[in-house]
Amino acid sequence: MSDTEAVPTTSFLVRRPVWQVCYLAALAACVAVEAWGLAARAAGVPMRAAGLGSHHATPITVGMFAMGTLVVTFWFTFAVVLIARFATHPRRVYLRTTLPLLVLSLAAPLPAADTPASTKFVLAAAHLIAGAIIIPTVAWRLRFR
């Protein structure tokens, strides 16, 4: 049995274009990060954060975790399609690009003014959750370009 026949889901993903796999992985990540945000809200974490350059926190409303995941995936999918099309080793290029960007994204919540530490932790963890779903899925698909 080959890698592409291991599980019906994997053969489904192999047959999809790279951009579709990016968006399917993003949809799964959206559900996971939104559930994470709702769980944090239910646990009493204050859902308010200041954006870059802002000095005052604004509310993080329901759906913002998912929306942020979709926005980043939308724009980065263009890069993934170019990597898949032009790179000699697309999986390697993809991982060497996304993993440092994921680490860099963890620093984004840290300097936020007027944002509780617990909220910063929830936001950084949401980045890791989304990355743990999207990055391996897309990297796996790039093996079969």
Mean pLDDT by 10 residues, the chain (145 residues): 55 84 96 97 92 81 95 95 96 96 90 88 96 96 84
The predicted pLDDT at position 8 comes to 63
Domain ranges of the chain: 18-142
Task: Measure the CA–CA gap between 80 and 59, rounded to whole angstroms.
Answer: 32
Picking from 84, 66, 97, the residue whose alpha carbon sits closest to that of residue 16 is: 84
Q: Which pLDDT belongs to residue 3?
A: 52
Q: In this structure, are residues 106 and 124 in contact, taking their beta carbons and an 8 Å threshold?
A: yes
Between CA 68 and CA 43, with CA 137 as vertex, the angle to 5 degrees is: 45
Model-level pTM?
0.86
